[in-house]
Amino acid sequence: MKLILNVAASLYGLIGIASLVSFLLLISFGPRITRDMMGLRLLFWYCLPLLNATICLVVTYGLLTLRRWARIAVIGFNAFLLATITIGLIQSRLIETPSGPWTAAATAFVLVVGGFLIGVGLLCSTERVRQLMSN
């Protein structure tokens, strides 16, 4: 069970590092932030990769050290990401007109990312993990 948690922690760590790299690239080569209204919206989009990197790296630390709060953080973060993906799918398929064709890459993304999020969330909900992460 601990090996599976370490693999999940490693994946969260890789996602966090990738988000941090994308944030640094956005800061280095992205549009400049100004003080007008457009600049404030841009600042919001700049902060999303940084927030994702921070959460992923904190979750990685918590899973590797088997902290009790990490289990709750994983379940909450995964639920948030699943809700975000679901809302994005609803937005793109039902609200936007015209919606583009559904591709195999979109199907693979939903299956892989959704499966990972649901799987890790269910793993953290089991009694063995709850007992293992009791400190």
- pLDDT bucket at 102, cuts 50 / 70 / 90: confident
Q: Which residues are CB-neighbours of 34 under 8 A, at least 6 positions away? A: 42
* 103-119 pLDDT per residue, tens: 899 899 999 999 999 99
Residue 46 is predicted with a pLDDT of 84
Rounded CA Rg of the chain: 17
pTM of the model: 0.84
- pLDDT bucket at 80, cuts 50 / 70 / 90: very high
Taking the C-alpha atoms of residue 14 and residue 57, their distance in angstroms, rounded to an integer, is 9
**118 with 82: CB under 8 angstroms?**
yes
**6 with 65: CB under 8 angstroms?**
no
The fraction of the chain above a pLDDT of 90, given in percent, is 64
Domain boundaries, the chain: 2-132
